[in-house]
Structure 1
Amino acid sequence: MTHKPFSFAALVAGCLLSWNVSGQTAASGNTFTVKADKIYGEIAPTMYGVFFEDINLGADGGIYAELVKNRSFEFDTPMMGWVEQKQNNDQGSLLVINQSSVVSSPNRRYLRLTSKADAGYGLLNEGFRGMGIKKGEQYNFSVLARQGAGSSMPLVVELVTAKGEKLGSATFTPAGQEWKKYEVSLTATDTDPKARLRVLAQGKGAVDLDMVSLFPKNTWKQRPNGLRADMVQLLADMKPGFLRFPGGCIVEGRTLDERFQWKKTIGAVENRATLVNRWNTEFKHRHTPDYFQTFGLGFFEYFQLAEDIGAAPLPILNCGMACQFNTGEVVPLDQLDPYIQDALDLVEFANGPVTSEWGKIRAEMGHPAPFNLKYLGVGNEQWGEQYVERYKIFEKALRSKYPDLKLITTTGPFPDGPEFDYLNKTMRSLNADIIDEHYYRAPEWFQENATRYDNYDRKGPKIFAGEYASQTVAIASPDNKNNWKGALAEAAFMTGLERNADVVAMASYAPLFAHEEGWQWTPDMIWVNNLQSFGTPNYYVQKLFSTNVGTHLVPIQRNNANVTGQDNLFASASINQKTNELILKVVNTSGKAQDGEFVLEGVKSVQGKGTLQKMRSSNLEQMNSFKEPMALTPVQQSISVKNNRVKLSLEPYSVNIIKVKASSLGSVVAKYAANTGK
């Protein structure tokens, strides 16, 4: 994630393409020739994926379904998220105990609740901007607890509205003076997006509490203490080729002490160290001082999520450098060994046998089979000689032990400029496997750069378009919108990524999630609140491309030239070997309809029906919302194919996916394979 201020005027100055807002009259004379027998490259299964970073309450308060904020009292302010509950004065006390002098565990604090009343004293948790509770659904409460000497107090657990009205309750009694886990379930009697959790003592005495937790029973795959099902489903529906995690600048940290350390995010959740989230006060316009990482969503869960949605896991690790937009701290080269060892151990954790040290831990967590890790990122948006020095050390160690692992390196936070030029040249000279490029730019930039990869070296490193999103106002502006103008520009750019899929191996929009009341950065692909989630127009563009990706590239031309923005038209074409389909993606960014005739060359006679999936809006400011989550989504219709020709009106401001079955495509692919040995 890039967050350096930019001048919007400088970004758009010199853009050669403009949005055509005049007229709706159809333009004629557009004949597109699709040379289906002229395969010129292959499309990687990882072509379109998703990028996850814990920004905008993406993990805690988002996809990680825990409803209690600061469940283990380990935030910098131990009682953040909690308030005392009492009916009269002097009914009890809440005391945070810190055992740091005698306990080595990262979970060093617990709460002592002392009640001096017969009933009604305790504490209340506000959740993440409230708790989303749904009528009729079950919620599972758990806590580590022990009674004080001579105490045997029952505890009542209640779901309540902001006004204190009960939505469900359960009672249990901790037994003895040893820590034990207790679990009860509550069924909600009503729906409330702003519910709270209340824990009240029923009698006089003292009880110690830790890891106070509440999860919906209905999680993804019904896993206890798992992920929000609706949010994961939106990802699964995209059929992504990869999942990049855990970021982003969050990998680097504002300081090295605050960097993401994967080993601290695995094992029992009560032993995972809480860490401040680097986005909590990054932006003056959206301070979020209660933003921390509990790592209930840790590296094991990331790998598991990738497997669940059929995506290749793509972890990014710290390379011994903190975020250069913040402190820019670095580890001396002669002290880099622990960082290198973390990388080596991560590969073993993901792929090692159960007899290995880290493979055994993976198996103990419930996954004896390897996660089949093939890609690993070294650093995020670093730049300069300091990064190159550290990357070389990582590369030597990783290639020595894992020669088949594909390493992803960076060209910094910008798509051009001196930082980019230096790293692009240097990483090519080092024969890097995959180079990560990021683009947060104006919509006009995305149209202009649809040809960005046309002249890249076909024998050089592959490209990972690791973070991109159209900034409709200015980079990092809180006023950026997920509108159709931005999504349409991204679609135009993506045709360029796909036309050059022999060079571009991966691409992902960023950021992925944003909470309606807890965001720091806009725009974002999927928006959520405590009860709902919806895909933006940008999401549906990404989904259209990722669910309609081919296996082999073929040319689509007009007037013997690739369709790269002439008359505001952009296009790519591919063959799907598995389905024997020809897939055409055509984007019209102009304000007028343009008639097109698509001539399919190099295949036997094709007659009958094809399909057209289309997104369009005459309003470039159109957005989806919680009230209208499907305001702008694709629609599908049948189209006619006669004599290898498809006639179609490309509507104004539209993204069009044309699919035509052709049985002879199998022989075309077989011929290509025979000629290339692939």
Structure 2
Amino acid sequence: MLRKAFLMLCAAGALSANSARAQYTIAADKVKAQISPNMYGIFFEDINLAADGGVYAELVKNRSFEFNMPLMGWDEQKKDGGDGRVEVINRAADRPENAHFIKVYIDSAGGSFGLSNEGFRGMGIKEGEEYSFSVMAKQEGEQNVKLNIELHDDKNAIIGKAELTPTDKEWNRYSVKFKATATVQKAQLYVWMSGKGIIDMDMVSLFPEHTWKNRPGGLRADLVQKLADMKPGFLRFPGGCIVEGRELNTRYQWKKTIGAVDQRTNIINRWNTEFSHRPTPDYYQTFGLGFMEYFMTAEDIGASPLPILNCGMACEFNTGELVPMDKLDPYIQDALDLIEFANGDVNTKWGKLRTDLGHPAPFHLKMLGVGNEQWGPQYIERWKAFTKAIKGKYPDVKIVSAVGPFPGGKEFDLLNKTFRALGADILDEHYYASPKWFLEHAKRYDNYDRKGPKIFAGEYAAQNVVTGSPKNKNTWECALAEAAFMTGLERNADVVRMASYAPLFAHVEGWQWTPDLIWFDNLNSYGSPNYYVQQLFSLNKGTDVVPLLLNNEAVAGQDGCFATASLDKNTNGLVIKFINSTASAKSTSFKITGSKGYQKQASVITLRSNDKDAVNSLETPTAISPKNSTVNVSGNTLKLDVEPYTFKIVRLKNK
């Protein structure tokens, strides 16, 4: 009798526990929408030392003496009684794209006179790595000036050296390689000159041998690898407000960023004085990372290229300068020429240039952005001119159109209404807001017009303090809120075709804006919790959205939970994404219909922390990172326990 009572009590307890599970349904045979292969991508902008001092592996700052202060980053040095002087020569009439070089006078027969370069917050040097030093030089005097190249650590000890003697009386490039004997976070380069005479120098450069794909003068391998690890669907470049410029003469001009690096026109970076809390007067753009490199990187990592071009408007938060409509043709021609550069064959002017630069195959450009974050009737007027010209010559190229800097308001409403009426291809929506906003707007696209323009969630990031604050951090709370919002993007994949977090990169000592997806110093890098959210969505997006419901409603905030489900026809499986944004654990049960059943074990990926304020760092780069496990599946039923503040992905395989 006691045994029977005990068994009845256990059964009642089990029933009670089971009834406490939220009952979700998934209709695996009812496809709602196809998910774009390009759904989750990357937004790149040269902010926070993302290019020079970041992903572009050049270690010398102001290598061509083109900063407004031509010797910024350089200091004169003397040793062993050596003496000399430096003159900055302006040759703008002959070389407007590279107006300056230095003429160095070595006045002493003995000792050495030289210049040291501080790099970008120092130079990250690795023991055993081979470094390539190069310089454009010509000898002016009767005898040849000899160069001694040294790397010094932060205690001034020599950790690498080489010798080089230019010989020509005309400009020529000279190079030498040497290995470093120590790993140093903040080294400096010394170029010592000896032998009485005169030497002219330009393009003083130092690169590690091991760059991304070991390309000479290439990109920093660990940073590009983090992008490749996301398997992004697209790469948007070069920004961002960089496209616009604070004024039109500092806008991004793609034609000045291709070809020989000494012929690319340097300009000041618009972010150098944008924020009073982070002035960066030494922030310039050398364009060593230019449009050719962007296209090649996109190709390397399997991403579709998405260039954004200036539409004849400077940043409206700054000067708002406009090109008159009757002077807009060169801007439009730049767009047409870019498409030819990307896609044209060798018989076209710009396709031949791409071929001559070493890439005969086309880049398969399918999308192009006209303007970045513009608004107002002046943008509409210029957009119409661009669209008419581009569609007239390249009707298959999709145009990405801005709808202003905010996700609502009069600027957004005007552009949204106008571009929908004009039959725009893709609308680029931006949102920087609190985690609460992202949680509350997970249904943003549920009622969008299914026959209207597609949506590109082009820039977004949750801000844990306030938008633009230097105190913002990449907290787990922000990342989890973004994950919740992204379930709404994916659930509405028939409307939302692309999405990208912004900004992408930030140097831990050279940032202007937070939060950011990937952080780095001169030697190391780490992904924020937000990075892992983006990566997990990209790697597990599936191919087709299917309904995942609670009480016949999309799961978009009920009891603090968010979810979406998709078929993955590539792996013959089902993918469930589930977010618990609350401090309480959730017991769930998923009943799946329209399937013949699943294998008995499903894989589970968990991203979580009990601390909403937790962050990753250089010291603890994977504090919040994906963990793998499994869960049992019973026929077409899956029971899943979800911890507080957790993002889970479950992958089931069909029998």
Q: What is the distance in 2 between the residues matched to 1:644 and 1:570?
A: 21
Structure 1: gaps spanning 5 or more residues = 1-24, 664-678
Structure-1 residue corresponding to 2:250: 258
Q: What is the distance in 1 between the residues matched to 2:111 and 2:625?
A: 53
Q: What are the within-5 Å matches in structure 2 for residues 359-370 of structure 1?
A: 359-370=351-362
Structure 2: gaps spanning 5 or more residues = 1-16
State yes or no: 1:127 paired with 2:125.
no
Q: What are the within-5 Å matches in structure 2 for residues 109-148 of structure 1?
A: 109-117=100-108, 118-148=110-140
State yes or no: 1:380 paired with 2:372.
yes
Which runs of at least 4 in structure 1 moved beyond 3 Å after TM superposition?
none
Normalization by structure 2: what TM-score? 0.96
CA shift digits 1:10-39 (9 cap, x unpaired) = xxxxxxxxxxxxxxx999331111100000
Aligned counterpart in structure 2 of residue 619 of structure 1, from 611, 614, 620? 611
Structure-2 residue corresponding to 1:642: 634
SS at structure 1 position matched to 2:45:
coil
CA shift digits 1:104-154 (9 cap, x unpaired) = 341121111111232321100000000000111111111001111302121
SS at structure 1 position matched to 2:500:
strand
Q: What is the distance in 1 between the residues matched to 2:185 and 2:467?
A: 32
Moved more, 130-139 or 161-170: 161-170
SS at structure 2 position matched to 1:596:
strand
Normalization by structure 1: what TM-score? 0.93
Structure-1 residue corresponding to 2:624: 632
State yes or no: 1:513 paired with 2:508.
no
Q: What is the distance in 2 between the residues matched to 1:87 and 1:134?
A: 26
Structure-2 residue corresponding to 1:528: 520
SS at structure 2 position matched to 1:453:
coil
State yes or no: 1:108 paired with 2:106.
no
Aligned counterpart in structure 2 of residue 286 of structure 1, from 270, 278, 282? 278
Structure-1 residue corresponding to 2:578: 586
Q: What is the distance in 2 between the residues matched to 1:26 and 1:549?
A: 30
Aligned counterpart in structure 2 of residue 326 of structure 1, from 283, 300, 318? 318
Letter in 2 for 1:260: Y
Does the Cα contact within 8 Å between 2:427 and 2:454 map onto a contact in 1?
Answer: yes
Structure-2 residue corresponding to 1:311: 303
Q: Offset at 1:607?
A: 3.5
Residues 1:394 and 1:201: Cα distance change in structure 2 (over 3 Å): same
Structure-2 residue corresponding to 1:438: 430
CA shift digits 1:71-98 (9 cap, x unpaired) = 0001111000000011377810011111
Moved more, 630-639 or 84-93: 84-93
Structure-2 residue corresponding to 1:481: 473
State yes or no: 1:98 paired with 2:90.
yes
Aligned counterpart in structure 2 of residue 447 of structure 1, from 434, 439, 452? 439
Q: What is the distance in 2 between the residues matched to 1:313 and 1:28?
A: 48
CA shift digits 1:586-620 (9 cap, x unpaired) = 00001010001111110002231110101111100
State yes or no: 1:416 paired with 2:392.
no
Q: What is the distance in 2 between the residues matched to 1:308 and 1:390?
A: 34
RMSD in angstroms over aligned alpha carbons?
1.2
Q: What is the distance in 2 between the residues matched to 1:28 and 1:371?
A: 54
Q: What is the distance in 2 between the residues matched to 1:643 and 1:127?
A: 61
Q: What are the within-5 Å matches in structure 2 for residues 52-201 of structure 1?
A: 52-87=44-79, 91-101=83-93, 103-117=94-108, 118-201=110-193
Q: What is the distance in 1 between the residues matched to 2:33 and 2:165?
A: 66
Q: What is the distance in 2 between the residues matched to 1:255 and 1:340?
A: 18
SS at structure 1 position matched to 2:163:
strand
Structure-2 residue corresponding to 1:44: 36
Q: What is the distance in 1 between the residues matched to 2:324 and 2:431?
A: 30
Residues 1:27 and 1:206: Cα distance change in structure 2 (over 3 Å): farther
SS at structure 2 position matched to 1:451:
coil
Q: Which has the higher contact order (CA 8 A, sep 6+)?
A: 1
Q: What is the distance in 2 between the residues matched to 1:100 and 1:644?
A: 73
Identity between Structure 1 and Structure 2 (%): 60
Q: What is the distance in 2 between the residues matched to 1:396 and 1:298?
A: 27
Aligned counterpart in structure 2 of residue 464 of structure 1, from 456, 473, 481? 456
SS at structure 2 position matched to 1:387:
helix
Letter in 2 for 1:345: D
Structure-2 residue corresponding to 1:7: none
Q: What are the within-5 Å matches in structure 2 for residues 527-676 of structure 1?
A: 527-662=519-654
SS at structure 1 position matched to 2:378:
helix
